[in-house]
Amino acid sequence: MISTIKRYIPQRYAPAALNLYNSALNLFYFPYYLGHQVYCPWCNCHFRRFVPYGRTDVPGLHGPTQNGMCPRCHCIDRHRLLWLYFHNRSNIFRDQLKVLHFAPEAYCQQKLRNCSNLDYISADIDSPLAMVKVDITAIPYAENTFDVILCSHVLPDIPDDRKAMSELYRVLKPGGWALILVPFHADQAKTFEDPSIVDPKERTRLFGHFDHVRAYGRDFIDRLESTGLTVRQERYASELDPDVVQRYVLFAEVDMFYCSK
């Protein structure tokens, strides 16, 4: 539906169309899932469980993730993990920071944008949610501009991902940090990419999504570090108490890459 809105709705009407679509989903999902077993921190709501999400129509992909998506704000497990990471491991809710957020999710953006300590900018090349239109391979800001950069599941879409990584390094302040998430294959030494693959179904089968152009292996860290970034790979969910994991419905295999300059 979001892809349809991007394709057929004029840019100036797209945010309203997206809000209308989300409101319609809320009317359907919200009452059915009310309860107290699980919790979404982004919209501060409790539910008896979360909504399944995922693909069932593509061979080779895992089926829907049960109990995964918030019925109200539609954040999924990795977004809830990010909130916990921000709250417990970072200064994003505490210090005065200039933040650049690529490919913002609606409720994540809303919550961060409302933080009085943040000078927050969201960016994307075509998302109707983003505050500014930005090509991540040519970021229109001076070097050493941002204290924090958030970039979740963006780089697999970018043909020249090394240029994008260099741009992230360039606009990050010395002493600043970037949190980067990608679908990561720890059992794969080398990143698999083939520019000749353009069929959406074949891309989904090989890379996990119709607009992804690669599947990252363990050399992803080398790619980031080649720009000058210092990289720390984290699996934060595996460090949390099992009761927290159960309440927020988290998956320990989510890899996060904390990058500093």
Angstrom CA distances, 39 to 27, 31, 77, 103, 134, stand at 19, 15, 11, 24, 33
pLDDT of residue 64: 53
- Identify the burial level of 39 via C-beta atoms within 10 angstroms of its C-beta, where 0-12 means exposed, 13-18 middle and 19 or more buried: middle
Enumerate domains of the chain plus CATH numbers: 77-260 (3.40.50.150)
Q: How many residues does the chain have?
A: 261
pLDDT of residue 72: 85
User: What average pLDDT does this structure show over 172-192?
Assistant: 95
pLDDT of residue 62: 44
Beta bridge partners of 97: 118
Reported as a pLDDT band with limits 50, 70 and 90, residue 130 is very high
Kindly compute the dihedral angle of the four CA atoms of residues 215, 217, 222, 226, in this order, to the nearest 10 degrees.
Answer: -10
61: pLDDT strictly greater than 90: no
User: What average pLDDT does this structure show over 55-78?
Assistant: 66
Residues 120, 124, 130, 132: is their CA dihedral positive or negative?
positive
pLDDT of residue 67: 77
12-26, 148-162, 247-261: range with highest mean pLDDT: 148-162
Contact 74, 21 (CB under 8 A): no
112: pLDDT strictly greater than 80: yes
pLDDT of residue 56: 40
Give tens-digit pLDDT for 195-240. Answer: 899 998 898 888 888 889 999 999 999 999 999 999 999 999 999 9
